[in-house]
A and B are shown apart, each in its own frame.
Chain A
Amino acid sequence: MREGTVTKDAIASRHPRSPEALLSLLHDLQTANAGNYLTPDDLALAASHVGLPLSAVRDAATFYSMFSLRPRGRHIVRLCESPNCHLAGAWSALDELRRVLGVDIGGTTPDGQFTLELTSCLGACGVAPVMMVDDEVVGNLTPTRVRETLGRYRGER
């Protein structure tokens, strides 16, 4: 858990104790972890909080692409590969991402800084091709812009 943040129990207490709260709760638990993933303890806590069997929570958590059960990098890079971005040259941005990060899709850089993923349409097609780094949308991607953006995130802290 990130230092100075609230405890997991406090996070859970903000959600109703019913299955319909599951996805919201998993989002919040995942965000609280440095590795952008859900730990076995998180799943167990979610299961007892919303009143579902652990297996059912695990089932749901593995289905949705925004959740991960394995540690990921500090920053998640999600490149949109939908037809609009594809038309605008997403594949050349992908080439550059793989070259600069040295990992394939789904991979995490050895220094734990970045995980490279693909995503469906982000709804920002006006500036295609687009990627999301954490919560930030970065558009009009060119190889140069990819390098600059990654450099900016690397330089943080």
Chain B
Amino acid sequence: MSLARAHVLVGVDDEARLAGVEEVLAALRAAIADLGLEGEVQVVETGSLGISGHGVVLAVQPDGVYYAGVTPADARPIAEEHLLKGRPVARLRLPTTAPVARPADVLGRQTRVVLANCGAINPERIEEYIATGGYEALGRAVTALSPDDVLDLVKRSGLRGRGGAGFPTGIKWSAVRTASDPERYVVCNADEGEPGTFKDRLILEGDPHRLLEAMAIAGYAVGAHVGIVYVRGEYRLSIARLERAIADAEALGVLGEHVFDADFSFRVEVRPGAGAYVCGEETALLESLEGKRGWPRIRPPYPVTYGLWGKPTVVNNVETLANVPDIIRRGPAWYRTLGTPGCPGTKVYTILGNVRYPGLVEVEMGTTLRTLIYELGGGLLPGRTLHGVLIGGAAGAFLPPRELDVRLDFDALAERAAALGSGAVLVLDESACMVDMLSSVLRFFRHESCGQCAPCRSGTDVLVRLVTSLQAGTADAGTLDQMVRIVDAMRAASLCPLGQSVALPVRSALAGFREEFAAHLTGAACPRCQATVHARGSH
């Protein structure tokens, strides 16, 4: 960042646009100009500041003051009172009545690696990324390290894939490195579609160069010269920011031909998806990249030997890659000081639902669900009690309050580890009905099942009919057992993780909230279920 007395960081994403951030920005710039503060105060458009549900949010640094719900009419008071006279405008500051922490403290409580720059730099200016140490890791890799050195650093860091499976990244890269075919690809999976998850979007929007640098490092390590980012078609702003970042990086010679004048060339392309949840599965994604319908492939062979166009391919999630530059720059020993021995590093979560401070946080691996909800999320809204938590989105697990002390890492979650990847934490208070929530999850799967294999195609359909009968009060006594039999068959026989993962929400909901499901068997009316069944009509 250039030298200025103060920076006003304004989070610009879809949510802020909805709240009129463009008008706020214009008013703020006008007010600053009016007061003659242009040389001293810089307005920076950045990605989300990690605070959701509060309209236009901005932060004044270095003061650490956060304003929320800012309107154009507030621009003048903020500029005059705070930026000129140094007196923060109390009525616009984020609520400070939380029992545990103020939002500013909450932000300080996090350990930010992959989100270090999100909400702190202007993502459309490559200079700002470079000023934070950006592209240093790539420069060092291609000029001072061999590909094997880079592989060694990544392996020793213990980095595991954040997409859900927790597979060691270094081992995946090594498999591609040692493949016999010299034509190889690096693919970034940015087809974020798990309900309640938008961490990848905020990285793409808030720090696109971090991703590009990581992909180039991966390319150098495995011997690939082309990287492709497959982005959800709905993420228009992410696509635009990435394309801008690629152009800037090529102009500066940190991407493209002879990166850092070294004997290594790497270019990155952006490809939009077109609305298919299953394309988040890596082989379906590869099919889609080849211009085909997104049907998962039968594995093996795995992408590391037979990926895009049948060539060895690294497929990594956005969050996984976003760790790589710091691992190279600061070393595996530093990285291992974060998280747990089996799962080093941090994890990004979106805390949503009935909590006081919904939003995006990054904490060390192994943090408990209780800490996430009560310290970082500020706890439930006043007067509400916790009913349960859905972690990991649709392909996730419903947890009752007694499981709040579970450590969130791939090992402690064991068979529920897949739920960790998305990082979605949906907090449900007593107003939620678990049957109704499971119904929503199952409808999602029925809609998104790609139709290729019968267990998933038919299973999701039958499950929706069963859960609807529970909601309507017309289910028979064997319904719950029948649901378990179906998801177990789907887990055993489905082609890809989509069908296999339906067992996770169904089994966890029935285990954690058995009485609530049993109560729906008696035919007693559940108002919540009745309302949603009515609203859906024939759908």
Contact = CB atoms under 8 A, between A and B. Distances in A.
Interface string B418-445: 0000000010100010001100110110
A115 to B, nearest CB: 14
Contacts of A125: 52, 195-196, 198, 350, 352, 358
Range of interface residues on B (Cβ < 8 Å) = 35 or more
A120 B536 contact: no
Contacts of B535: 91-92, 94-95
A123 B235 contact: yes
Contact of A64 (B192, B294, B352, B390): B294
Interface in A51-71: 52, 56, 59-60, 62-67
B196 A121 contact: yes
Q: Which of A20, A92, A121, A124 has the most CB of B within 10 A?
A: A121
A59 B272 contact: no
A64 B394 contact: no
Nearest to B202: A123
Given A23-B273, A66-B233, A126 B52 contact: yes
Contacts of A66: 233-234, 274-275
A104 interface: yes
Given A120-B447, A126-B358, A64 B52 contact: no
Interface string B231-248: 011111000000000000
Given A20-B271, A23-B271, A124-B14, A81 B444 contact: yes
A123 B290 contact: no
Interface string A129-155: 000100111110000000000000000
B68 to A, nearest CB: 12
Contacts of B531: 91-92
B281 interface: no
A11 interface: no
Range of interface residues on A (Cβ < 8 Å) = 35 or more
B536 A91 contact: yes
Contacts of A92: 531, 535
A127 interface: yes
B182 to A, nearest CB: 20
Nearest to B228: A20
A56 B273 CA distance: 17
B14 A23 contact: no
B193 A65 contact: no
Interface in A87-138: 87, 91-92, 94-95, 98, 104-105, 118-128, 132, 135-138
A50 interface: yes
Interface string B8-52: 000000110110000000000000000000000000000000001
A67 B294 CA distance: 14
Given A67-B274, A137-B15, A87 B443 contact: no
A127 B52 CA distance: 7
Given A98-B537, A137-B17, A120 B53 contact: no
Contacts of B273: 23, 64
B359 interface: yes
Contacts of A119: 234, 275
B168 interface: no
A24 to B, nearest CB: 6
Interface in B177-214: 192-198, 201
Given A119-B275, A124-B198, A23 B536 contact: no
Nearest to B534: A95
B538 interface: yes
Nearest to A50: B291
Nearest to B288: A23
B352 A118 contact: no
A59 B295 CA distance: 11
Given A83-B444, A127-B53, 10 more contacts: A63-B450, A87-B426, A87-B437, A87-B440, A105-B539, A120-B195, A121-B195, A123-B234, A137-B14, A139-B15
Interface of A: 19-24, 26-27, 50, 52, 56, 59-60, 62-67, 81-84, 86-87, 91-92, 94-95, 98, 104-105, 118-128, 132, 135-139
10 contacts: A24-B272, A52-B291, A82-B394, A84-B352, A120-B193, A123-B198, A123-B235, A126-B53, A136-B18, A139-B15
Interface of B: 14-15, 17-18, 52-53, 192-198, 201, 232-236, 271-277, 288-294, 350, 352-354, 358-359, 390, 393-394, 426, 428, 432, 436-437, 440-441, 443-444, 447-448, 450, 531-532, 534-539
